């Protein structure tokens, strides 16, 4: 099983404003309406694992954006709203058994989304590849992409490319011994 992170950050490493807001992402000029490689990335993904806060944010958009199964990490939610009941499922517990259970269900390529979810997967050394798009803005404060780790994780830089004359997108793969 491969586990991927695909995320945008500010130059100072925040994935959202302190209140969870993403308005700063919507301010990026995009005259060509590019998805910056997201559709291509998603074409290789079997399912998503997202944190509760990210799930709540996605629900606030009004329409459901995913055509893949979504697993929501939560220890407090009992069920998802009825309009996404066939599309999303609540999961909880330690990450390794959760990942093994998803593998047993036939999922091979997982996309992890959400600050705390990404940090938890990194802490458990479960992330195989990260694609990070840097947005040229300094937020000063917000929700960080990375948190504290109990051990060092090494990644190999695969490529960096400019996007839309404003963004840079870099891909890193985990170096495993």
Q: What is the CATH number of the domain that holds 81?
A: 3.40.430.10
3-state SS assignment for residue 23: helix
The pLDDT, as a whole number, for residue 131 is 98
Which residues in 94-103 are b (16+ Cβ under 10 Å) and which e?
Answer: ebeebbeebe
> pLDDT class for 29, splitting at 50, 70, 90?
confident
The boundaries of the domain holding residue 32 are: 2-174
Q: Is the pLDDT of residue 55 over 90?
A: yes
Tokens of 47: 């399912």
The pLDDT, as a whole number, for residue 60 is 86
Tokens of 156: 């190999």
The pLDDT, as a whole number, for residue 61 is 83
Under DSSP, the state recorded for 174 is: E
The pLDDT, as a whole number, for residue 169 is 97
pLDDT digits (tens, 9 = 90+) for 65-93: 899 999 999 999 989 989 899 999 999 99
> pLDDT class for 109, splitting at 50, 70, 90?
very high
pLDDT digits (tens, 9 = 90+) for 130-157: 999 999 999 999 999 999 999 999 999 9
Q: Is the pLDDT of residue 6 over 90?
A: yes
Which residue reads 């870099």 in tokens?
170
The residue that leads in pLDDT, 36 or 88, is 88
Which residue reads 């290789």 in tokens?
44
pLDDT digits (tens, 9 = 90+) for 112-134: 999 999 999 999 999 999 999 99
Q: Give the global pTM.
A: 0.93
pLDDT digits (tens, 9 = 90+) for 150-176: 999 999 999 999 998 889 999 999 999
The mean pLDDT value for 41-69 works out to 92
Q: How many folded domains does the chain comprise?
A: 1
């Amino acid at each position: 099983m491969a586990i991927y992170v695909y995320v945008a950050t500010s130059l100072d490493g925040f994935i959202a404003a302190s209140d969870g807001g993403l308005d700063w992402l919507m301010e990026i000029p995009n005259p060509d309406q590019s998805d910056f490689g997201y559709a291509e990335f998603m074409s290789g993904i079997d399912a998503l694992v997202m944190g509760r806060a990210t799930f709540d944010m996605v629900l606030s958009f009004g329409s459901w954006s995913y055509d893949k199964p979504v697993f929501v990490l939560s220890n407090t939610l009992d069920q998802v709203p009825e309009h996404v009941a066939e599309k999303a499922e609540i999961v909880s517990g330690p990450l390794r058994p959760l990942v093994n259970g998803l593998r047993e269900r036939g999922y091979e390529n997982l996309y992890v989304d959400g600050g705390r979810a990404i940090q938890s997967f990194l802490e458990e050394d479960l992330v195989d590849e990260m694609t990070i798009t840097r947005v040229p803005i300094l937020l000063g404060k917000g929700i960080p992409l990375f948190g504290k780790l109990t051990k060092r994780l090494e990644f190999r830089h695969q490529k960096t490319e400019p996007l839309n004359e404003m963004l840079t997108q870099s891909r890193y793969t985990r170096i495993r011994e």
